[in-house]
Amino acid sequence: MSVMSPTSAPLVQATSHVRIPPTMPYDVWCVVVACLDFFTLKSISVVNRDYHHEASKYLWKKYTLFIDSRFHGVWARRYLENGCNILMKPERAFRVQDLRIDIQASLGPEHDPAVERVFQMVFAVLQRTKNLKSLTIKAAHYRFRIARALSGLPFPFHLDRFATDLFCDENLHGFWAAHPNMKHIELLGVDTDVPNLPAPLASLHTVHATLAQQSVIVRGSPVTSVHLDGFWQGECRVIRDHLAASTAPSGILDLSMQIFDGSVTSTPYIDIITHLPRLRTLRVIHADIPDRDHRVAVMEALASLQDLEVFEWGGGSPAGQADIFAACSKRCRSLRRITFRWGNGNYFQRRFERESEEAGWGIVQG
């Protein structure tokens, strides 16, 4: 299914009737408009010229092109063309700052002229988004074709954020060179071709890596926030060495780890976390650690984080979570919030907070 959704943050429920308070100052109403969802913005934009002007600033700020894998061939191409046509108007493309392109369908054989035409439309849209700051590109097919276009075409924007599951091989060299000031990079593909990753990047502060090898992008850059999706036990020291090579004066302050390998025990905590003493925020998803010695090693590693302020733990047994809470709540002096998650997708949570080191812990509802 194609989803073409230029959306703003869904903070206000969509409505077909918009009442504008007659006594509300215009400058106050402008602040309100910045918090509205797409459908309310759409309604406001037809009230009068002034409100159209304010709503238009946010109406096309975010835009998503998503082609579901259930479609293929001519139908997938048609949906993608329709989504591109919406942004062909310069007044819309000019306002887009966050563009997400997710093509999970097969559009047809790669060298089919019809496929080439639809990709020319996609790249034409990119060339119209002059104010683009954030770009996400994911594709189940045509990855080399897309990467070569990103490197070879002259795009007018300069990105702050880039997320992709494209292979980061030599086909992306030109793209990395054209965007040396990116601040946030997400590598979502299972791609081990790390020699072609850009490094160092002078403004890079946030990295999301799907593989341990991809954490090499941290080296020589002032990275302070790292998200690791998964790794083997034997890769912990490689990750540690990469994170230690961040040039940020504070080092790594924010770390997220999703550990899906059931054989991984206390090694990430000993080899990675204990070498990041300035961590302020730590988020971990990890299965239960049944071995008592390993569990003690994990608690000792966590208790060493004296600057830690926010800690989130997903997974594990109630007994394991209780042990972790007992260790962290008493020994991490700066800790102010602990959240435990469990259930399918870590849907359920229990959060504890305190105002100071001397204050007691309270349970936060919701």
What letter does residue 72 receive in the DSSP assignment?
B
Of residues 13 and 283, more confidently modeled: 283
- DSSP bridge partners of 284: 257, 313
In this predicted structure, which of 1-15, 65-79, 214-228 has the lowest mean pLDDT?
1-15
Position 9 scores a pLDDT of 38
Is the confidence at residue 5, as pLDDT, over 60?
no
* C-beta separation of 287 from 311 below 8 A: no
* C-beta separation of 125 from 93 below 8 A: yes
Is the confidence at residue 24, as pLDDT, over 70?
no
Q: How many other C-beta atoms can be found within 10 angstroms of the C-beta atom of residue 165?
A: 19
The token duo for 247 is 């040039």
User: Over the Cα atoms of the chain, what is R_g?
Assistant: 24
Q: For residue range 250-273, what is the model confidence (pLDDT) as tens digits?
A: 999 999 999 877 778 889 999 999
Q: For residue range 123-132, what is the model confidence (pLDDT) as tens digits?
A: 999 999 999 9
Position 295 scores a pLDDT of 86
Is the confidence at residue 243, as pLDDT, over 80?
yes
Residue 141: pLDDT band (50, 70, 90) is: very high
* Burial 174-210, CB ≥16 within 10 A → b, else e: bbbeebeebbbbbbbbebeebeebbbbbeebbbbbbb
Is the confidence at residue 17, as pLDDT, over 60?
no
Q: For residue range 183-241, what is the model confidence (pLDDT) as tens digits?
A: 999 999 876 666 678 878 999 999 999 988 889 999 999 999 999 987 888 899 999 99
